[in-house]
């Protein structure tokens, strides 16, 4: 039955997004209003497909309005903006349907094993989470904060969608599937080597900078320090910063910006 509902959704008429609702959805987010008119038109078509194929659910009594869903859809589709036709681009998100929206940050129960083999149980506060082959969870409070935190390269919606892109070829590890002919490379192995050759040292340097800042009072990195916890998180925080503050991101990470240009197929590359 779930498959049939998804199949019907694919062939149903696209939902109409009227102009006042669309403009109201973009208005709080300067990185969306700064897009060209052509880019906004592409984003609107992608958002319509996204709304057709995804199912929103509010948690803890939250009711997800059309305006809320549209704000999330517009930001979720930002990484897809230049990935071919809307149908081709939205296929990058084919592995999930559900989007669970929490009123605020969620508490997730975690466990970790220390060097002595002792298991520790703890709770982690989450603004969002992307589950392998499953839904995305978002804090509505964090989504709203994206209207202000973009100057620091933060965007929880893009962050979780970047994890979904990363998961297209397996678990989230910071090495997403690369398009054919990536950066002019003749083979998939050469493309992957080029990616690894830039991202591995960038992650190591960022992790060291973050540790020095946290432990010894060194200068804080511009990119979210959460990126220092794992290569997958470094990729996700890099993607969110790239999508909402590309100029600053390119200045901070000149070796990585061209690779994300190639991954997301920005025009002229």
Bridge partners (DSSP) of residue 108 are: 124
> In the prediction, which pLDDT does 69 show?
97
Quick one: which H or E segment has residue 57?
strand 55-58
Q: What distance lies between CA 22 and its chain's CA centroid?
A: 21
Query: Does residue 6 register a pLDDT over 70?
Result: no
pTM of the shown model: 0.89
Mean pLDDT value across residues 192-208: 97
Tell me: the pLDDT tens digits for 118-153?
554 544 568 999 999 999 999 999 999 999 999 899
Query: Does residue 2 register a pLDDT over 60?
Result: no
> In the prediction, which pLDDT does 85 show?
93
Alpha-carbon distance values, 127 to 140, 148, 204 (Å) = 8, 15, 25
Instruction: State residue 178 phi and psi, 5-degree precision.
Output: -100, 145
Q: CA–CA separation, 7 vs 126, rounded Å?
A: 32
Q: Residue 178: how many CA atoms within 13 Å on its side-chain side?
A: 23
Alpha-carbon distance values, 251 to 20, 257, 258 (Å) = 36, 9, 11
> In the prediction, which pLDDT does 7 show?
46
Query: Does residue 116 register a pLDDT over 90?
Result: no
Asked whether the beta carbons of 266 and 259 are under 8 A apart, the reply is: no
* CATH code 3.40.640.10 for 1-102+133-152: no
* CATH code 3.40.390 for 173-269: yes
The domain spans of the chain are 1-102+133-152, 173-269
Alpha-carbon distance values, 233 to 35, 72, 203 (Å) = 26, 20, 10
Strand, coil or helix: 172: coil
């Amino acid at each position: 039955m779930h498959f049939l509902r998804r199949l019907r959704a694919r062939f149903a008429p696209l939902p109409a997004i009227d102009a006042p609702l669309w403009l109201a959805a973009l208005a709080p987010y300067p990185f969306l209003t700064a897009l060209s008119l052509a880019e906004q038109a592409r984003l609107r078509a992608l958002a319509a497909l996204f709304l057709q194929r995804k199912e929103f659910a509010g948690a803890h009594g939250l009711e997800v309005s059309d305006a809320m869903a549209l704000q999330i859809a517009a930001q979720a589709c930002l990484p897809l903006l230049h990935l071919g036709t809307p149908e081709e681009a939205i296929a990058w998100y084919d592995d999930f349907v559900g989007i669970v929206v929490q009123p605020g940050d969620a508490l997730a129960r975690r466990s970790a094993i220390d060097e002595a083999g002792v298991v520790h149980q703890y709770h982690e506060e989450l603004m969002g989470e992307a589950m392998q082959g499953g839904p995305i969870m978002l804090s509505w409070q964090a989504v709203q904060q994206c209207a202000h935190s973009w100057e620091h390269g933060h965007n929880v919606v893009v962050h979780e969608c970047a994890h979904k892109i990363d998961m297209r070829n397996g678990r989230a590890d910071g090495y997403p599937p690369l398009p054919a002919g990536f950066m002019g490379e003749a083979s998939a192995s050469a493309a992957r080597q080029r990616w690894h050759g830039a991202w591995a040292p960038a992650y190591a340097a960022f992790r060291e900078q973050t540790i020095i800042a946290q432990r010894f009072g060194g200068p804080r990195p511009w990119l979210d320090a959460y990126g220092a916890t794992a290569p997958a998180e470094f990729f996700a925080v890099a993607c969110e910063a790239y999508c909402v503050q590309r100029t600053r991101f390119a200045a901070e990470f000149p070796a990585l910006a061209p690779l994300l240009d190639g991954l997301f197929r920005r025009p002229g590359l």
